Amino acid sequence: MRKYLLPLLFIFLFVIESTFALMVAPTEMFANERWLIPHFLLGAIMLLVIFGSRKLGLLYAFIFGLLFDIVYTEIIGINLFLFPVVTYIVYQLMKILQNNLIVTTIITLFGVALMELGSFGVNYIISITTMGFSDFIFMRFIPTLILNLIFIVIVIFPLKKYFERYVERLSL
């Protein structure tokens, strides 16, 4: 039963992201001026790579990147590419930097920022969005980073403990 908890956690976060996005619609809360984009699943996958297993983290990044593209986006491949790349970059940075909760929080938030910038860049290049870069920064990027920072601060300690125990049980 315990081996199914990790996939269930990620499936739960996948569902919560879309539910959260619908509940906190920008037209209702911010008069259509701010977009809060949750990246809870990606944040948890990055924490898995940092505190747990690189192989599992990259595998889940690939699987859920593809699932995100199938369910939510018009073009298959953006998240399929960005999820694993961002996760790998975060993993490489954490090999260099000191592994404590503050640095991990900053690097995970950096991964969310990379995801947002990469997604915006691809959508801008292929003309899916017409939003300018300055509008993107103030209307979507900064509110998204604040939302995801709050999420990371809330879940980092429990997920750290869970991922460390999970990997320990796998190695036994």
Residues 6+ apart with CB under 8 A from 74: 128
The DSSP secondary structure of 104-130, one letter per residue, reads HHHHHHHHHHHHHHHHHHHHHHTTS--
Q: How far is 69 from 146, CA to CA, in rounded Å?
A: 24
State yes or no: pLDDT of 23 exceeds 90.
Answer: no
What percentage of the chain carries pLDDT values higher than 90?
73
99 confidence band (pLDDT: 50, 70, 90):
confident
State yes or no: pLDDT of 34 exceeds 80.
Answer: no
State yes or no: pLDDT of 100 exceeds 80.
Answer: yes
Q: How far is 44 from 25, CA to CA, in rounded Å?
A: 23
